[in-house]
Amino acid sequence: MEINFYKYEGTGNDFVMIDNRNESFPKDNIKLIEHLCNRRFGIGGDGLILLENDATSDFKMVYFNSDGNQSTMCGNGGRCLVAFANKLQIIDKSATFMAIDGLHHAAISDDGVVSLQMKDVDSIANSTDYVFLDTGSPHHVQLVSDLAHLDVKEKGAAIRYGGLYGKAGANVNFVEQINSDTFSIRTYERGVEDETLSCGTGATAVALAMQYIGKTSSKAIKINVEGGKLEVSFDVNNGVFSNVFLKGPAKFVFEGKINI
């Protein structure tokens, strides 16, 4: 079977996009999805995303990690999917879509910047040297020095596979503060099992965590990722974060056909 695919990236976090409104894609085929995400033998991507019909919103997001397994929410993937839906003329400048963690609202500007509402966060675990929270995906957030020279894959894997988070594991974010409202991060992503150039739920987690532990008083945080810049804004009342928005570019790269 021949399928059409589209490639998108959001600050270097790249995805294979497929319009699956006809439900023809064999999404239970883990080996196929892993192959399509392979950078040498397939299309290449940090994940694969299906756009499907949804009865209560503009569309549905079904997200798979590059290991072929369906996974939790992906912030940059969600932003890219909004840009994809715009290209397919499913939406114009605003959207609602259903994802694994519930309903999301989003808007896309004329210059291709997508602002995506993330889930509310009402539970943050603050330990001695790290913070843990779920922003649609589970995230370990840890302040470090000399971020540029950190071995993210080695140190991230040790935490992801360590006893702290059990079999399910967690994504691991290493953070360095730049100024009062700006942080640089590098992220090890489970399912990719390596560092990625950007992680949207990770950027969101870092912004909320840094506000929570008092490293910033701002409610609009700038996040430098390896692939560019993201912004996270939110309201916070009594430890509950709401109106959380992840904002950044979402770019079409290329499209093609592949036999599966």
Q: Which residues are tagged catalytic?
A: 74, 199
- The whole-angstrom separation of Cα 201 and Cα 129 is 20
Say if residues 70 and 60 touch (Cβ distance below 8 Å): no
- The whole-angstrom separation of Cα 64 and Cα 79 is 15
- The whole-angstrom separation of Cα 119 and Cα 116 is 10
**How long is the chain?**
260
- The whole-angstrom separation of Cα 250 and Cα 13 is 9
In one letter, which amino acid is 40? R
Say if residues 35 and 162 touch (Cβ distance below 8 Å): no
Q: Cα 58–6–187 angle (5° rounding)?
A: 85
Q: Which two tokens stand for residue 112?
A: 């291709």
